[in-house]
Amino acid sequence: MRKVAVVGVGHSKFMFNSPKTGVEMLSEVAMDALNEANLTPKDVQAVFLGNVLGDFTEGQGMMQSFFANDIGCFNVPATRFEGACASGSMAVRDAFMWVASGFYDIVLVGGVEKATAMDTPLATRTFAMFGDSRYEYPAGFTFPGAFALLAHLYSSEYGIPLERLTEQMAAVSVQSHYYGMKNPNAQFHKEISVADVLKSPMVTTPIKLLDACPFTDGAAAIVIASEEVAKRLTDKPVYFAGVGQTSSGKLSSQSKHLPRIRARELAAEQAYKMAGLTPKDIDVCELHDCFSIAALIAAEGLGFFEPGTAGEAWERGETRLEGKIPINMSGGLKAKGHPIGATGVSQVTEITRQLRGELGEQGRQVDGAKVGLVDTLGGDGVIVNMILSTK
Amino acid sequence: MRKVAVVGVGHSKFMFNSPKTGVEMLSEVAMDALNEANLTPKDVQAVFLGNVLGDFTEGQGMMQSFFANDIGCFNVPATRFEGACASGSMAVRDAFMWVASGFYDIVLVGGVEKATAMDTPLATRTFAMFGDSRYEYPAGFTFPGAFALLAHLYSSEYGIPLERLTEQMAAVSVQSHYYGMKNPNAQFHKEISVADVLKSPMVTTPIKLLDACPFTDGAAAIVIASEEVAKRLTDKPVYFAGVGQTSSGKLSSQSKHLPRIRARELAAEQAYKMAGLTPKDIDVCELHDCFSIAALIAAEGLGFFEPGTAGEAWERGETRLEGKIPINMSGGLKAKGHPIGATGVSQVTEITRQLRGELGEQGRQVDGAKVGLVDTLGGDGVIVNMILSTK
């Protein structure tokens, strides 16, 4: 298979209540990504889209087709991917394969969501569709509840009293808001303290409001090309070194592993093996911190820390810009925002910019970053991991 | 790229009001497909799913993950594809690529829908989400309306008076019901006459109730393998010879071509070119007759008949079992039924059985069929074409 690179990226401001339609948001970021790669829509051979709720929030199914048409990608194959919050990454991984296989040379991947069109109770109920509709949602098992359960299991499994764990969890949110301040596209630009998190309203014990990422409207897009084409288009291609994807199904199917997410550990293993790399080789990481407890579990599952130790690592600053493994220098889902279908594409955009060394002016560039990891979690244990590299 | 074959198929009874959930329907047909290939779920390396309305009708998003888990395909990558009525074919084409590229050897593709959970007005409104939500649906442009418009354009473009065209259209439905009688999985087992069609209630001039396919619950699944693996598993592998996919976007973007669907002609061209074949080489075809006028336009777009002549061809019996190009020997969407996300996978199942020569007992086997074509249309001009071959 051929080497494949990201050659252009585009990223909208993440926000509440965007006045634009999903297609409009996508078209803007796609044109940015194409312009960056010195390409036009006529050069695009196929379009891939991550989108979850377009039908619910805008009455627009198969948005990929109208998006492609809107920017003048006429009569190309355009495909929508849905794997809940991992939809965007799923689209990227699939697009990678179509280029790696030699079938296409240049493809466009977008991700978009208008998740704030629903109020929080309706959104929470709607999101619960990405749990098991037979065994989980009918039992009242929504995602805040699922991650609260994981927090309790984490506390008991690793002998960390709940009061102590909530402090560790707070450190995740505090760091995310700190770097979110530096990201002009982030939804929140507000520094918070551990005390702020701990005194914020309880959502589901022990998860407080400031442990949870927001609902968000936003879009991101990337252009992917074969190595040969990439070298003609940019002097800073960022290559896909490894990809992995898994689906766990309902959470109870992993009960003997919880609070570890077995699906993630297997997806990460696929990506590391394909790249011939280990966690030590990763210079920068964007991972799926939909709740602060999710960030701890993710960082451990990806091999950066031993199980039960990630919270301390966050508190010690090991995940900061100058730390052992800088995590979520974008502000993460917590502060950058989480427009579901766009999140994976946004993460790839962030890592691409880090590996190109473009974020110095924003004060969040990891010095000399050459290898980055993307981690996205969708619903009940859909995981996509991707390793990007300057080589 | 490697040659890729279908090595097992499974197909549910298509019906109104299935008592089963989508996951249950999928699990049954997937186990049938795996059993036919002498495989178990442990052999499956990845799962691909076509599903459109699982969230609307069952409150189940990313059904692929729960489906994979349900049959014991643990922690494999499982991906949902949505391209309206072409979702199933989209999933098949994508799965083909993952095997052709050498990434996987054995993958499972399913398609499912419970489309009868909604009553007809709600379903029609819901389906309209697969038109353009900015310019079409708000103007009252639902799919019966879109195809009625195409019928009017067809009538004027080719000089066929509307009364005459409605007779030709009726011939399509009559033939579909004739062969549907012979398909035990078909939703309708009822012979109808041209007079029955013409006296059925008007839906949108000139489309009558019996010109329209029904809403349907159903599922289908196929197992796809690399040539080397396929030869070990079956003595009747059915190979993918060519694939094509396009998206037109809103119908008005093709206005200078209508009533021809330019997107289809381009997708078919891709598939024919890849296969090194022409329309004359096709022995049997399953095409997207969501409305009888759609069947005429499709048969012409695929190159079987000159524009404006397909209706007469149907009336002369050229599309029957013994005709020049047997079309929809399954009963088509009209009589077999149209469970949206399952339709493409069902079509591939049908063509596979034709090319294996298994339908003689049902009285609908095309003698010596060696090459078959699948045509699926989703929403506003998403087209997937696939050519299957015994060689």
pLDDT tens, position by position, A169-223: 999 999 999 999 999 999 999 999 999 999 999 999 999 999 999 999 999 999 9
DSSP state of B290: S
B66 neighbourhood in chain A, CB within 8 Å:
132-134, 249-250, 380
B323 min Cα distance to partner chain A (Å): 32
- Of residues B131, B372, B144, B67, the one with CA closest to residue B240: B372
Q: pLDDT confidence of B123, banded at 50, 70, 90?
A: confident
DSSP characters for A209-266?
A: GGGBPPP-EEEEEEEEEEHHHHHHH-SS-EEEEEEEEEE--SGGGGTTTTTS-HHHHH
Report which of A281, A284, A265 is spatially closest to residue A347, judged by C-alpha positions: A284
Residue that has been written with the tokens 């609307």 in this structure = B56
Q: How far is B263 from chain A (nearest CA, A)?
A: 6
pLDDT of the residue at B297: 98
Report whether B335 contacts B180 (CB < 8 A): yes
Mutate to test the interface with A, among B62, B85, B254 (most CBs of A within 10 A): B62
pLDDT bin (cut points 50, 70, 90) of residue B184 is very high
pLDDT tens per residue, range A79-105:
999 999 999 999 999 999 999 999 999
Residues A14-36 have a mean pLDDT of: 97
Q: Which of A118-122, A265-269, B21-25, B133-137 bottoms out in mean pLDDT, i.e. has the lowest? A: A118-122
User: pLDDT at position B117, please?
Assistant: 84
The CA distance from A11 to the nearest CA of chain B, in Å, is 23
Pick the range with the lowest mean pLDDT from A51-60, A361-370, B43-52, B222-231.
A51-60
Spell out the SS3 assignment of A312-371. HHHHHCCCCCCCCCCECCCCHHHHCCCCHHHHHHHHHHHHHHHHHCCCCCCCCCCCCCCE
Average pLDDT over residues B353-379: 98
The answer for residues whose C-beta is within 8 angstroms of residue A57's C-beta and 6 or more apart is A22, A113, A114, A115, A117, A118
Q: Is the pLDDT of residue B124 over 90?
A: no
Which domains does chain A possess?
4-118+216-239 (3.40.47.10), 142-213+243-389 (3.40.47.10)
pLDDT at position A120 is 81
* Cross-chain CB nearest to B246 (options A21, A70, A76): A76
**Mean pLDDT across the stretch A2-14?**
98
State the CB neighbour count (10 A cutoff) for residue B337: 31
Nearest by CB to residue B379, choosing from A59, A65, A379, is A65
Q: Among residues B85, B213, B285, B290, which one is catalytic?
A: B85
Calpha distance A377→A297 (Å, rounded):
11
pLDDT at A117 over 90: no
Closest Cβ–Cβ partner in B76, B246, B249 for A247: B76
Nearest to A94 among B58, B94, B132 (CB): B94
Give the C-alpha separation, A250 to B307, whole Å: 51
Report whether pLDDT(B137) > 90.
no
Establish whether B85 is a catalytic residue: yes
Asked if the model's pLDDT at residue A124 lies above 90, the reply is no
Please give the average per-residue pLDDT across B310-323, as a whole number.
98
Per-residue pLDDT band at A349 (split at 50, 70, 90): very high
B65 and A83: CB-CB below 8 Å?
A: yes
Whole-angstrom distance, CA of residue A333 vs CA of residue A335: 6
Long-range contacts of A364-367 (CB under 8 A, 24+ apart): A364/A179, A364/A182, A364/A183, A364/A321, A364/A329, A364/A330, A365/A321, A365/A329, A366/A283, A366/A284, A366/A321, A366/A326, A366/A329
Mean pLDDT value across chain B: 97
Amino acid residing at A361: E
Residues of B in contact with A246 (CB under 8 A): 75-77
Using the predicted structure, report yes or no on whether residue B259 has a pLDDT greater than 90.
yes
Query: Kind of pairing, strands A4-11 and A238-247?
Result: antiparallel
Chain B residues close to A95, C-beta within 8 Å: none
Tokens of A327: 């995590």
* CB burial string B110-119: b at 16+ within 10 A, e below: bbbbbbbbbe
Q: Mean of the pLDDT values across residues B276-299?
A: 98
How many whole angstroms separate alpha carbon B381 and alpha carbon B249? 6
**Is the pLDDT confidence value at B10 over 90?**
yes
Catalytic residues of A: 85, 338
pLDDT at A202: 97
Judge whether residue A140 has pLDDT over 90.
Answer: no
Q: What is the pLDDT of residue B121?
A: 82
Rounded Cα distance, B300 and A84, in Å? 39
Predicted local distance difference test score (pLDDT) of residue A125: 81
Determine the Cα–Cα distance for residues A293 and A297; give it in Å rounded to an integer: 6
Query: What pLDDT, on the 0 to 100 scale, is given for residue B249?
Result: 93
With beta carbons under 8 A apart, name residues in chain A contacting B264. none
pLDDT at B357: 98
| Listed residue (B16, B25, B17) closest to B49, CA to CA | B25
CB neighbourhood size of A270 (10 A): 17
> pTM surpassing 0.95?
yes
Please tell me which residue of chain B has the smallest CA distance to A383. B77
Q: CA quadruple B329, B331, B334, B340: dihedral positive or negative?
A: negative
Across the interface, do A247 and B56 touch by the CB < 8 Å criterion? no
Side-chain half-sphere CA neighbours of B232 within 13 A: 9
Contact A77/B102, CB-based, under 8 Å? no
| Whole-number pLDDT of residue A260 | 97
| CB-based contact A65 B382, cutoff 8 Å | yes
The pLDDT mean for chain A works out to: 97
C-alpha pair distances (Å), A125 with each of A122, A213, A292, B294 = 5, 16, 21, 38
Given a cut of 90, whether residue A119 has pLDDT beyond it is no
* Alpha-carbon torsion (B31, B34, B40, B43), positive or negative: negative
Which chain B residue's Cα is nearest to A385? B77
β-pair partners for B5: B225, B239
Quick: pLDDT tens for A357-387. 999 999 999 999 999 999 999 998 899 999 9
What pLDDT is attached to residue B175? 98
Q: Do A62 and B74 touch (CB under 8 A)?
A: no
B119 compared with A144, residue with greater pLDDT: A144
Instruction: Tell me the chain B residues in contact with residue A83 when contact means C-beta distances shorter than 8 Å.
Output: 62, 64-65, 78-80
Q: Identify which of A61, A69, A82 has the shortest CB distance to residue B130.
A: A61
Tell me how many degrees the CA angle A100-A106-A110 measures, rounded to the nearest 5.
100
Specify which residues A220 forms β-bridges with: A11, A111
Q: Give the distance from CA B369 to its chain's centroid.
A: 19
- What's the CA gap between B17 and B37, in Å, rounded? 30
Q: What is the value of ipTM here, to two decimals? A: 0.97
